[in-house]
Amino acid sequence: MTITKEQIREHGLSDEEYARIKVLLGRDANLVELGVFSVMWSEHCSYKSTRAHLKTLPTKAPWVIQGPGENAGVIDIGDGDACIFKMESHNHPSFIEPYQGAATGVGGIMRDVFTMGARPIAMMNALRFGEPDHPKTRHLVSGVVSGIGGYGNCMGVPTVGGEVNFHRSYNGNILVNAMCVGLARTDKIFLSAAKGAGNPVVYVGSKTGRDGIHGATMASAEFNEDSEEKRPTVQVGDPFTEKLLLEACLELMATDAIIAIQDMGAAGLTSSSAEMADKGGSGIELDLDKVPQREENMTAYEMLLSESQERMLAVLKPGREAEAEKIFRKWELDFAVIGVTTNTNRFIAKHKGEIVADIPVTSLSDEAPVYQRPFVNRAPAAGQPAYDKSRSVIESLTKILGTPDMASRRWIWEQYDHSVMNDTVQAPGGDAAMVRVHGTKKALAITTDVSPRYCRPDPFEGGKQAVAEAWRNLTAVGATPLAVTDNLNYGNPQKPEIMWEIVAGIQGIGEACRALDFPVIGGNCSLYNETNGEGILPTPAIGGVGLLKDVSKLARAGFRREGDVIILIGETRGHLGQSIYLREIDGKEEGGAPPVDLATEKKHGDFVRGLIEQGRVDTVHDLSDGGLLVAVAEMALKGNIGASIGQASLPDAIPFFFGEDQARYLIAAPFAEAEKIVAEARDAYIPVTELGKTGGDAIIVNDKDKVTLSKLRATHEGWFPRFMSREEIPLTN
């Protein structure tokens, strides 16, 4: 058959790309091969718009065992222990079918981690929704939260934190970014390179169905008014099967039977087999008749492109098939030898005795297009916007704490089991989650961070800030930041203004990671996050992991004692541009992003972390969204202890209390220790200010303005339950 232009377009390929495919094959593709190229050359799988720029990111450090290029990154955390983690998106499926989209996003990122030989120990998620008043938002929030909780809780892996934000730019394209952290021994890390010829290729897990076909292609295109019709491309997850698969894989990994292993994620069997062969410098031959199928009369096209969940592909040492099959049958999972590795460097698939695909392996990977898409530099927004100086500081604080972006997320995280496995040291709501390395005094600190409102006016500074914020959150609990995974969510890269946001964002991330010795060990790009031509705010989410060697020295954000001195580390200039205050109180999204001085970030963070490590400070909170007064209120609410503070600098109260200057921390310590800390900071030329003291049941500002903690708590805790308790959840626009 001759491939038509319409078929090429339906598969998300350009005429130029198909012409390149013909050259690589030396002939026209058949329909199966067209489908294979479609998913492997999709933006979601090939990173064809970003690959050149991603190569500029720092990826190495003495503690990095495995950087980008595998299912997940790996870092050494001492004593023969390794931490494996990654963050990925499931944005498009979650908009179409929120419960299953979010659930399978959780399942997929877990498989990325345990296919490396790790047992997952913690989950996080970074969620972005549209305006609360949009008719679909509450339905999406309900479905996504239920999907995350339903899958994670069934797996018995704690969901320990994350972030949730609302903005009109996400009305037609929500973001669901899932992060998984796991533990393994450094000598038991499994990779996906299928080296050697004549080795059996085995399929394990659930049967293959018709769900999820062309999911990778869908995730590489803009939404429009017909997107609801793409519901069949959303996979359906089964966490109970995933739990069995996890245990079976870990049992097999305890043997020496595995040469390579890979989960079947985006692009399913095609991606897993082709990528394994490419990494191993080998070829692969598949017999699709042997693929376990849950539906009748499945075609080769459907089997190769299905994204059915809870499936893995492994390459075993010859003669170990029976041993492996026994393990998987014990766990009541499908097992089948469906192919063999070869020395031909070709991807060959057979069905009903005929070859249905015969493609050079490298043409699906190395020969995938890499674009240097044009971009147009836009002058970053700058300047301090005008603001109303007459507004009440206390009234503004109370209102901010009850806004959608700043209200308590308790309604969400109480639906997640964050204590299962009994190693969660710090529950959701702190600067960073903390999970003990089982049987040791070590703990991993985990956070996700980005401020999209900074990234639109200045993508470069916004990218820097996302990394710096993650680094500060880990530092604030006392952990040494070690590495990040990124999830780069942007609009259409074929628009020069969007491509500039991508390029500048990556440059900012890279600069911050180099300055903070905080390498990128893996991640995900999610582009084409647009609906009817309207793109999302640039949202380069950063997932950070750090190590606290002695969990007993964990610093928490809540005030612990009455009479402690409240100390501000860092300089306050009163930057209100793109601040929460300006947006929520004055109704403006104006001005430039706050500048991030990375040398200052490093100096201040190292100083604060040193105090925690020395056991001298146990109460720390970094300053970010909302500024100084919001941070004080959060510390008071967490500890149920009030505070009295004064305006220590700046002539105007609004920028002092609500400016979002970077590189700042709040510390609370007894008087004698506080005096020493202040003196040491000044000796180190670090800006330091005594703001006031803890005590009472209210926040008091400048000895006159006052609000009780009970009133603040009612406002802070009340928004989400009220929002979600409306009688009807709209299902459609």
Which residue, 383, 382, 385, 397, is CA-closest to 585? 397
Alpha-carbon distance of 234 to 1, in angstroms, equals 29
**One-letter amino acid for residue 382 of the chain:** A
HSE at residue 371, side-chain half, CA atoms within 13 A, is 20
What's the full length of the chain, in residues?
733
Residue with tokens 């003291």: 693
Q: Which residue has the tokens 């319409």?
A: 6
Of the residues 11, 44, 214, 575, only one is catalytic, namely 44
What is the residue whose two structure tokens read 């450090």?
61
CB proximity list for 6: less than 8 A, separation 6 or greater: none
Query: Which three-class secondary structure string do you get for 156-189?
Result: CCCEEEEEEEECHHHCCCCEEEEEEEEEEECCCC
- Short-list 156, 80, 86, CA closest to 116: 86
How far apart, in Å, are the Cα atoms of 511 and each of 84, 442, 506? Answer: 24, 29, 9
φ, ψ for residue 708, nearest 5 deg: -75, 155
- Residue 534 — φ and ψ, nearest 5°? -100, 115
Q: Annotated catalytic, 44?
A: yes
Q: Of 417, 171, 214, 421, give the one whose Cα is nearest residue 301.
A: 214
Distance of CA 229 to the CA centre of its chain: 27
From the candidates 11, 53, 90, 134, give the one annotated as an active-site residue. Answer: 90
| Separation CA 629–CA 657 (nearest Å) | 5
Residue 286 main-chain phi, psi, to 5 deg:
-115, 140
Distance between CA atoms of 365 and 339, rounded to whole angstroms? 20
Please state, in angstroms and rounded to a whole number, the distance separating the CA atoms of residues 706 and 701: 6
Instruction: Please give the Cα distance from 219 to 529 (Å, whole number).
Output: 8
Where b means 16+ CB within 10 Å and e means fewer, 572-586 reads bebbbbbbbbbbbbb
Contacts of residue 1, Cβ cutoff 8 Å, sequence gap at least 6: 30, 31
How is 234-276 classified by DSSP, letter by letter? S----HHHHHHHHHHHHHHHTTT-EEEEEE--TTHHHHHHHHH
Which residues on adjacent β-strands are paired with residue 293? 208
Pick the closest to residue 286 from 346, 344, 364, 338 (CA basis). Answer: 338
Scanning the structure block, which residue is given the tokens 């020069």?
496
What torsion, rounded to 10 degrees, do the Cα atoms 615, 618, 623, 629 define?
-140
Backbone angles phi, psi at 323, to 5 degrees: -60, -45
276 contacts 361 by C-beta, under 8 angstroms: no
Q: How far is CA 469 from CA 234, 235, 287, 362, in A?
A: 33, 34, 49, 39
What type of residue is 81? D
Catalytic residues: 44, 90
